[in-house]
Structure 1
Amino acid sequence: MNIMTPTAARRSTHLRSSPDAPHAVVIGSGFGGLAAAVRLGARGYRVTVLEKLDAPGGRAYVYRQDGFTFDAGPTIVTAPFLLEELWQLCGRSLSDDVDLRPVSPYYRIRFDDGEVFEYSGDPDAMRAEVARFAPGDVAGYESFLKASEARFRIGFEKLGHVPFDNWTDMARVLPDLVRLAGHRSVYDLVCRHVRDARLRVVLSFHPLLVGGNPFATTSIYSLIAFLERRWGVHFAMGGTGSLVRGLVGLIEGQGNTLRCNAEIARILVTDGRATGVRLASGEEIAADVVVSNADSAWTYRHLVAPEDRRRWTDKRIEKARYSMSLFVWYFGTRRQYPDVAHHTILLGPRYRELLHDIFERKVLASDFSLYLHRPTATDPSLAPAGCDSFYVLSCVPHLDSGTDWSVMAEEYRSRIERRLSETLLPGLGQEIVTSRMLTPQDFQDRLSSFKGAAFGLEPILTQSAWFRPHNRSEEVDRLYLVGAGTHPGAGLPGVLSSARVLDMVVPDAAEIRRR
């Protein structure tokens, strides 16, 4: 399989930018912004990436304290060919800079009663696990995988890297969406294949990885199950931050620039065209094209002036539906917990009801389900010798819940600590040597996420594809969007694919020169 798109292959000329090349400014250094910068650099642009924080990565920022390394956000690498393609554009191989290791099991899923499901990419092992829980559902599990593959072939391979500029683009895919029951939810699709209540949870949780409620997210997102089976689940040695460092190295190798501590106050627009940006410091930087990797709602609500917007008005932005937020607790222990897997999903007593509280009622529930990340299971270098590095994540409502996290954060953390101590990490309270938290308020204030939503717009059908903010801005000429809030959506494959779309919508540097 040729993993490079024809466009990418044609443009992998390994050019270094020249001082007189057309200038592209990229707002934000998350994976979408860094991938966009590499692609624009490969096409002859002189690129400047501007990052609000003191280091690159955005949601993939890296915290280092007391000898421990904590990846702030993404921990799961799937579809690694999307990363390999970026390295190839620069005449290199991903393995030159990053050591990707497969993780197995993909996830260890622990139910509230202590029963465990080992979720892996091994077909025989998965059939055996399904049979252990519900022998009558093995055939249904196999048919679900086929349904997931059908959606993968359309949603990922066919549509994931193409723009949806016009309503006609959406009209062309409607027959596929109808045939694949895109109007149904992921959970509904799963229920059509398996009957066991626990297996329905196991096969439907994936939308939570991209900010969606399994009971509302379009069934197209069931493609994630097959995507994982197709390429596996990987971890970058040194942490996800090693991917960020590698991408920054590619950008600098192209002769381009990353500036940190450079917060954007406004995208400058003249006669309907983006002409540059103004920093919070007052400095103005001219540009021939502007690419925003900032949250799409934040971009339109705060960076584009109201008079330059017609579709994404303040009212429309406020009324849109947004993903849940996250409470994340990072901690290091003085001892190791060798029986804990790299990725563990620790389910609480409720599934549908808890998600209803988070997404619909927007209340902070007394119970929770948790994702526990133990990267030292794969890479011990992320903690001092004999220690473990962790983060634990709980899905919570975004800031419309009204929760005052300056008051609630420590109480909520303590409840999570008790739960972990009772289940997977005995004696945890006495073993913690370093700790920090990230709350929905931090998602808004630190990461410029509208309403503190961790994944931007919620991935329901009426906010997907053409209905999402477009990669080529509908509002401003030569303004482009990448990242979780635009097409195709959140998750590492989604944001990397959003940068891939730019190859089809951003003019070549030579064409910009001629205009």
Structure 2
Amino acid sequence: MTTALIIGAGFGGLALALRLQSAGIATTVVEARDRPGGRAYVWRRDGFTFDAGPTVITDPDCLRELWELSGGSIERDVELLPVSPFYRLLWNDGSQFDYSNDEAALQAEIARFEPKDVAGYARFLAYSESVYRTGYVDLGAKPFLRMGDMARAAPALVRRRAWRSVYAAVSAHIANEKLRQAFSFHTLLVGGNPMRTSSIYALIHSLEKRGGVWFAKGGTNALVDAMVRHFERLGGKLILSDPVSHIASTGSVVTGVTTRSGRQFEADLVATNGDLVHSYGLIADSRYAAAKSRALRRKRFSPSLFVLHLGLRGSLPQVAHHSILFSDRYKPLLDDIYDRGRVPGDPSLYLHHPSATDASVAPADCSTLYALAPVPNLGKADPDWKTFGMSYRETVLDRIEQTLIPDLRKRIATIFHYSPADFATDLGAHLGNAFSLEPLLTQSAYFRAHNRDDHFSNLYFVGAGTHPGAGIPGVVASAKATASLILDRHRHRTSD
């Protein structure tokens, strides 16, 4: 029987594990931390459940497919709850925009800001649909191993004017500045600057409208646990709390891994869901791997995040499940984060309030909340986050109090934060990045890390650093692309 070993139990690693195990490949996942999930880790403190990372679930069909491969049903293991509105957007002047899937309500919201933009939005939606079909349906789960693969995709990308930024694509149809922000901020959720991320990423709007926005009852990590249950039900094996310290290689093949505890695992193939730079660093005594690591370090990595977790007394009926608090500076703030290396004193925030949808994530008459602020990665700004994090915590609390929850500090029952330094330490993330490579056109598809390595014929990559990129649908699609390469090789081997 063919054997596979996957490094890392994030969404990408688990999605790949489910695909391989469902196809009859004996698969083992080795995870460094004490729980699966990777960036989708979870903390449970004082009766509160705190998701560490991704909280916006779109395209539930890509998740259902992971169960259906073996005749199962996702509903057996986890309940997905619809979120409405998708997002509530707020500005410092008191403006508010509810972004929902109710077409009439959405048009009314747009008209409150600029009546002429209702027609402009319809044109933008048509554009979003076109790039969704090109970028997600046609190319999202297709591996790009050769320049020829990129050349074949180029005409469609040219037709969609993929060299434009998402912000430019929105601005071509919508005049009001707040609405331009409302329909371009999504790239920040996958690590991209709306001012320079390819307009192909406008597909996210269509993806949300088609599939909705969802939350896993019990928290995002409940979805992770569901994936693990199904994987183990199929016979897969998960090993926790034992980081891989070395990937063994001979010539142009990898032969297995060694973990920190000293255990050695041999496998016919190895796939890594880990950070790209860290993963190549595990292949010791390989000049190729060392050169690959150096080349990766020269690429542009996404920013990091400062995440403040709050367990609050009382309910928050005025706070939506997902909220975006915009700074008065849009492009200048993005320039600070992506280019100037300045930690913003006036951060834009994404607020996650899961108890608005699911009361089980907090004690009775309490609320769970996290505030996420994009900040530069450690290569651009490296304050001492041990001390600076405590002061930045106050900056974030001030922003929320001024905009949304005036008595926030009085309500706090539990508080802690997660900084770029933690991304680097806990996840091995190069420069403490939060989304791997920045999603630029020049770092996408063929120009992103390949789903199969160019030198080691049985070394594969999955997750945010590979095609198509970050976000739950992205990393699940990367698993589909990677699995297609593995299973094609597996079929050829078994037919010989």
TM-score (norm 2): 0.97
**Aligned counterpart, 1:235:** 215
Deviations for 1:148-176, whole angstroms, at most 9, x for unmatched residues?
11000000000001110100000001111
Question: What letter matches 2:350 in structure 1?
Answer: Y
Q: 2:118 aligns with which of 138, 153, 163?
A: 138
**Aligned counterpart, 1:291:** 271
Residue 359 (structure 1) aligned with residue 338 (structure 2): yes
Residue 435 (structure 1) aligned with residue 420 (structure 2): no
Question: What letter matches 2:46 in structure 1?
Answer: D
Deviations for 1:181-215, whole angstroms, at most 9, x for unmatched residues?
11111011111111111111011101001000001
Aligned residue runs from structure 1 range 486-497, under 5 A: 486-497=466-477
Distance 1:311 1:266, change over 3 A: closer
Deviations for 1:353-372, whole angstroms, at most 9, x for unmatched residues?
00000001111121100011
Deviations for 1:118-157, whole angstroms, at most 9, x for unmatched residues?
1011111111111110011111111000001100000000
**Aligned counterpart, 1:174:** 154
Distance 1:173 1:511, change over 3 A: closer
Contact kept in structure 2, 1:311 and 1:475, CA below 8 Å:
no
Q: Secondary structure at the match of 1:399?
A: coil
**Aligned counterpart, 1:82:** 62
Aligned residue runs from structure 1 range 238-317, under 5 A: 238-300=218-280, 302-305=281-284, 307-309=286-288, 313-317=292-296
Deviations for 1:461-497, whole angstroms, at most 9, x for unmatched residues?
0000000010011131101100001000000000000
Tell me, in whole angstroms, the C-alpha distance in 1 between the residues paired with 2:427 and 2:495: 37
Question: What letter matches 1:63 in structure 2?
Answer: W
Contact kept in structure 2, 1:306 and 1:313, CA below 8 Å:
no
Distance 1:62 1:105, change over 3 A: same
Contact kept in structure 2, 1:151 and 1:222, CA below 8 Å:
yes
Tell me, in whole angstroms, the C-alpha distance in 2 between the residues paired with 1:391 and 1:366: 18
**Aligned counterpart, 1:476:** 456
Q: Which stretch has the larger CA shift, 372-381 or 414-423?
A: 414-423
Tell me, in whole angstroms, the C-alpha distance in 2 between the residues paired with 1:290 and 1:513: 18
Question: Structure 1, unaligned stretches of length 5 or more?
Answer: 1-20
Greater than 3 Å deviation, 4+ residue runs: 507-515
Residue 335 (structure 1) aligned with residue 314 (structure 2): yes
Residue 103 (structure 1) aligned with residue 120 (structure 2): no
Distance 1:37 1:188, change over 3 A: same
RMSD: 1.4
Tell me, in whole angstroms, the C-alpha distance in 2 between the residues paired with 1:264 and 1:514: 33
Aligned residue runs from structure 1 range 175-190, under 5 A: 175-190=155-170
Q: Secondary structure at the match of 1:261?
A: coil
TM-score (norm 1): 0.94
**Aligned counterpart, 1:162:** 142
* Deviation of 1:312 (Å): 5.4
**Aligned counterpart, 1:390:** 369
**Aligned counterpart, 1:47:** 27
Contact kept in structure 2, 1:182 and 1:220, CA below 8 Å:
yes
* Deviation of 1:304 (Å): 2.5
Tell me, in whole angstroms, the C-alpha distance in 1 between the residues paired with 2:217 and 2:335: 37
Contact kept in structure 1, 2:81 and 2:215, CA below 8 Å:
yes
Question: What letter matches 1:395 in structure 2?
Answer: P
Tell me, in whole angstroms, the C-alpha distance in 1 between the residues paired with 2:272 and 2:23: 18
Question: What letter matches 2:155 in structure 1?
Answer: P
Residue 73 (structure 1) aligned with residue 53 (structure 2): yes
* Deviation of 1:313 (Å): 2.6
Tell me, in whole angstroms, the C-alpha distance in 2 between the residues paired with 1:306 and 1:380: 52
* Deviation of 1:311 (Å): 9.1
* Deviation of 1:425 (Å): 1.5
Aligned residue runs from structure 1 range 185-224, under 5 A: 185-224=165-204
**Aligned counterpart, 1:319:** 298
Q: 1:417 aligns with which of 397, 418, 423?
A: 397
**Aligned counterpart, 1:379:** 358
Distance 1:163 1:306, change over 3 A: farther
* Deviation of 1:307 (Å): 2.1
* Deviation of 1:299 (Å): 1.4
Contact kept in structure 1, 2:283 and 2:289, CA below 8 Å:
no
Question: What letter matches 1:368 in structure 2?
Answer: P
Residue 61 (structure 1) aligned with residue 33 (structure 2): no
Tell me, in whole angstroms, the C-alpha distance in 1 between the residues paired with 2:321 and 2:3: 42
Contact kept in structure 2, 1:311 and 1:474, CA below 8 Å:
no
Question: What letter matches 2:213 in structure 1?
Answer: V
**Aligned counterpart, 1:119:** 99
Deviations for 1:62-82, whole angstroms, at most 9, x for unmatched residues?
100101001111111100011
Contact kept in structure 1, 2:92 and 2:403, CA below 8 Å:
no
Contact kept in structure 2, 1:308 and 1:476, CA below 8 Å:
no
Q: Secondary structure at the match of 2:305?
A: strand
Tell me, in whole angstroms, the C-alpha distance in 1 between the residues paired with 2:470 and 2:403: 31
Q: 2:327 aligns with which of 348, 351, 365?
A: 348
Figure out how many residues of one structure are paired with residues of the other and give that number. Answer: 494
Deviations for 1:325-362, whole angstroms, at most 9, x for unmatched residues?
00001110111111110000011111000000000111
Q: 1:500 aligns with which of 458, 471, 480?
A: 480
Q: Secondary structure at the match of 1:330?
A: strand
Aligned residue runs from structure 1 range 425-464, under 5 A: 425-464=405-444
* Deviation of 1:319 (Å): 1.1
Q: Secondary structure at the match of 2:324?
A: strand
Tell me, in whole angstroms, the C-alpha distance in 2 between the residues paired with 1:434 and 1:65: 8
Tell me, in whole angstroms, the C-alpha distance in 2 between the residues paired with 1:67 and 1:482: 34
